[in-house]
Amino acid sequence: MRISLLLLLIPFLVGCENFETKKISSEEVLDQETRSLNWKEVDEYPAFENCKNITELQKARNCFETTITKSVYAYLEKQEPVVTEAIDDTVVLYLKVEKTGRPAIDSILVDTTVTNQLPDIRLWLQQSVDSLPKIYPASKRGIPVSSTYMMPIVIRAEEN
């Protein structure tokens, strides 16, 4: 009986070292989390009031981009520019939405033909961005973050 009891206790005494847990410091956890996060993607896209309740990521992005596009094109159409040559070109607008929700132009790629015919194009784009409705910022893990979006804008004007 003693031998069988001793045989039962030996695995428990020897096996305890296999049950040790490795302690990880908070710095190591933070480092592992930082490496595993994809910082180029957001969990939630910026949103206007009309897009705020859309939960599917791709639909939310489409709603955001469509709202910006409509707003910018509506503003540009009001300008009624006069051109001497026909224009059919694309301007690329890099729009940054700050973590506060404030939109700002990061940069604009515009061909010289467009700027020659429409010297105020940069000003109009700035004013159109300034007139955007309230934007709720993008978020990553529930924290508001700044994000930048590339927006192609097709400029077509006929010669007058």
For 26-46, write each residue's pLDDT tens digit. Answer: 676 656 655 655 556 778 889
- How confident is the model at residue 12, as a pLDDT? 60
The predicted model gives 97-116 an average pLDDT of 92
- How confident is the model at residue 36, as a pLDDT? 57
With cut-offs at 50, 70 and 90, classify the pLDDT of residue 66.
Answer: very high
User: Residue 148: pLDDT above 70?
Assistant: yes
Give the residue, 12 or 108, on which the prediction is more confident. Answer: 108
- How confident is the model at residue 37, as a pLDDT? 57
3-state secondary structure the chain: CHHHHHHHHHHHHHHHHHHCCCCCCHHHHHHHHHHHCCCCCCCECCEEHHHCCCCCHHHHHHHHHHHHHHHHHHHHHHHCCCCCCCEEEEEEEEEEECCCCCEEEEEEECCHHHHHHCCCHHHHHHHHHHCCCCEECEEECCEEECEEEEEEEEEEECCC
Average pLDDT, the chain: 82
User: Residue 6: pLDDT above 70?
Assistant: no
- How confident is the model at residue 71, as a pLDDT? 92
- How confident is the model at residue 34, as a pLDDT? 58
Between the alpha carbon of residue 113 and those of residues 10, 87, 157, the distances in Å are 87, 8, 12
- Which residue is it, tokens 């020897």? 14
- How confident is the model at residue 135, as a pLDDT? 93
Give the residue, 157 or 132, on which the prediction is more confident. Answer: 132
With cut-offs at 50, 70 and 90, classify the pLDDT of residue 52.
Answer: confident
The predicted model gives 55-73 an average pLDDT of 90
User: Residue 143: pLDDT above 70?
Assistant: yes
